[in-house]
Amino acid sequence: MTNLFLTEKIKSLLPAYLQFLNEEVYPIELAVINRPFRQSLPLLKNLRAKTKEKKLWAPHLSEKDGGVGLTLVEFAQISELLGSSPIGHYLFNCQAPDIGNMELLHGFASAELKKKYLVPLMNGDIRSCFAMTEPELAGSNPVRLATTAKREGNDYVINGHKWFTSSADGASFTIVMAVTDAQNPSPYLRASMILVPIPNEGYELARNVPIMGEAGEDYISHGEVRFTNCPVPVSNLIGEEGKGFALAQARLGPGRIHHCMRWIGICERAFDLMCQRAATRKLDEHRYLGHQQIIQAWIAECRAEINAARLMVLHTAYEMEQAGSKAVKDEVAAIKFYVANVLSNVIDKAIQVHGALGITDDTLLSFWYRHERAARIYDGPDEVHKTSLAKSILKKYGLSFTG
């Protein structure tokens, strides 16, 4: 952590979160991720109850909503700590995609939808998912969608095919991005967000998509889902019709802060594992891995990269709190690709220092290598963010990008 952003509230909370992780989470995490996730649900339910008892539950929510009431900058620092375990965010009910859906429902849903879906989601009684990415169309261009929601009387009838609908397995509802006005001249005003209860007529979870050989289940999974003449009430619309893209952008701003700080938490844990290995693994009777200059260089470079990434993200979170997401769109683009690459580099170096052990499931590294390589792809591939940032900079120098 950096003292620049440490409020008195965070100083008082960090020891409690760290103690819970050390005593309750780290001892069980490998067992949880190395067996079918549902086998661990009774244990995890008990631990989630304990986080509530200790008043550590849902740090991102206000106190009146049952949370800790942290600001974005404060939560970012807790998010880093929770990111040090694959089950950290889940245990405290601030995991993606639920945290983003909570923000969407809180800001834009009707009172009826809030009562029926937001309250149990905040309480941890249910989980949710978010259906946007489509296998037939490039996710790097989010305004191109084939999924439609046509108005028929008091219902929307949804037809479409989505995948990487993370945590769809076991979810109680999904928020789907679908085209409601295909003829609108602006591609940014064609889609809407609609809440679909699960189970529902015409909704199908086709499969959990295998990620480098691991399909997973329940919370740790990425679903491929189909909507076939799937009816939902018009009242399940989130916000206004045609504002789906704007809502997605509103969701992604703080969401990228959450992701980046979670990635930094992973980096810190992988860095710690790497340093422990370098300091204790003997090459011969008198030499350890850490005596090798190449290992020393990796450790120095990773330390500098992690520190730089943290400051970039916390600064962006601070500016977002002051001026809103739109004002820091360049900074958000920068942290997304920069931190994702730091994450990939640190995990890769940690695996290399561990040698053959690093590619086994005897440490957390192989799990993170499988699942976090996608950090450079989801929420927009690195290349899109780099292009967006460069264009924004070059426009200030008078270069035009029309046509």
The single-letter DSSP state of residue 357 is: G
Cα 158 from Cα 194, distance rounded (Å):
9
* Contact indicator for 227, 147 with CB cutoff of 8 Å: yes
Rounded to the nearest angstrom, the gap between the alpha carbon of residue 243 and the centroid of all alpha carbons in its chain is: 22
pLDDT at residue 105, as a whole number:
97
* Contact indicator for 100, 94 with CB cutoff of 8 Å: no
Say which range, 122-131, 187-196, 319-328, has the weakest mean pLDDT: 319-328
Strand 148-152 to strand 155-166: parallel, antiparallel, or no bridges (unpaired)?
antiparallel
**Region 66-89 average pLDDT:** 97
**Region 69-96 average pLDDT:** 97
The predicted-structure confidence for 232-260, as pLDDT tens digits, reads as follows: 999 999 999 999 999 988 777 788 999 99
Say which range, 1-5, 211-215, 217-221, has the weakest mean pLDDT: 1-5
At 403, the pLDDT band (50, 70, 90 cuts) reads low
Q: In the chain, pLDDT over 90 holds for what percent of residues?
A: 93
Distances (CA, A) of 266 to 35, 53, 261, 362, 364: 21, 26, 9, 16, 10
* Contact indicator for 292, 257 with CB cutoff of 8 Å: no
pLDDT at 265 exceeding the cut of 60:
yes
pLDDT at residue 302, as a whole number:
98
**Average of per-residue pLDDT values in the chain:** 96
pTM, two decimals, is 0.95
At 140, the pLDDT band (50, 70, 90 cuts) reads confident
Domains of the chain plus CATH, in order, are 3-95 (1.10.540.10), 128-242 (2.40.110.10), 245-395 (1.20.140.10)
Rounded to the nearest angstrom, the gap between the alpha carbon of residue 21 and the centroid of all alpha carbons in its chain is: 19
At 1, the pLDDT band (50, 70, 90 cuts) reads low
The predicted-structure confidence for 53-71, as pLDDT tens digits, reads as follows: 999 999 999 999 999 999 9
Say which range, 117-131, 136-150, 355-369, has the weakest mean pLDDT: 136-150
At 2, the pLDDT band (50, 70, 90 cuts) reads low
Written as six digits, the tokens of 360 are: 């086994």
The predicted-structure confidence for 92-108, as pLDDT tens digits, reads as follows: 999 999 999 999 999 99
pLDDT at residue 255, as a whole number:
86
**Region 117-145 average pLDDT:** 94
